Copies of this chain bind each other. A is one copy, B any other.
């Protein structure tokens, strides 16, 4: 596996691959790989000739009080895991590559899509995500990019951006990869104490309960949301950000 640090070298490699008629599959990441990342990489390698992964902890998608400084990192471990998954190139730029001196350009999806759910408590988050993904797509020139469904709002936002900006790539969704007890895998799970980790499964249990209620015929949004809240609140470590039912694919409030 090749490791590339500059945008110029990455773009040249992508041009070379494209001129050879090779299909490029791409997985953008912030590193600290778990099995979820690895599955996206395997999918990229399976469906493309060349699998490219980017590893960059993007500062503009973190809010001022968020966890940018302590975000977990393990570059050598990540490289070994990506290589084992069959990745052909790891693009690991530093910030001077991704944000040239004086950088002041951003890409934003300006709709409900970025204002509700996570967009409400993290007002600049999606702007950071769309800006970095637009740059990465421009540099890596993939035919498709794979995103995990765990960050479902992010997936919808990226799809909207790609369509609106006439970007010539497909966005592929990969199902959420879960721990044996059902917790969605996440690099940020490393922040949890053993006790918190045990309680975190409440999110999965609550979603399962909601699905079961729906399957049994329950159609009241309020009842379903209350059930989710009830299950989560049984975990003393849980702090609620939001529980909402939203419409696909624009995340509109279905009750309005």
Measured CB to CB, the residues of A under 8 A from B are: 7, 11, 15, 18-19, 21, 97-100, 102-111, 113, 130, 134-135, 138-139, 160-161, 163-168, 250
Contact = CB atoms under 8 A, between A and B. Distances in A.
Contacts of A108: 105-106, 108
Nearest to A160: B105
Given A18-B19, A135-B165, A166-B138, A109 B113 contact: no
A154 to B, nearest CB: 14
A97 B164 CA distance: 9
A105 B105 contact: no
A9 B27 CA distance: 27
Contact of A110 (B21, B104, B139): B104
Given A19-B19, A100-B164, A139-B166, 11 more contacts: A7-B166, A15-B168, A102-B111, A103-B163, A103-B164, A105-B108, A105-B110, A105-B165, A107-B134, A138-B166, A139-B168
A168 B113 CA distance: 29
29 contacts: A7-B166, A11-B168, A15-B18, A15-B168, A18-B19, A19-B19, A100-B164, A102-B111, A102-B160, A103-B163, A104-B111, A104-B164, A105-B107, A105-B109, A105-B110, A105-B130, A105-B160, A105-B165, A106-B107, A106-B108, A107-B107, A107-B134, A134-B134, A134-B165, A135-B165, A138-B165, A138-B167, A138-B168, A139-B168
Nearest to A114: B104
Nearest to A101: B163
Contacts of A160: 102, 104-105
A202 to B, nearest CB: 35
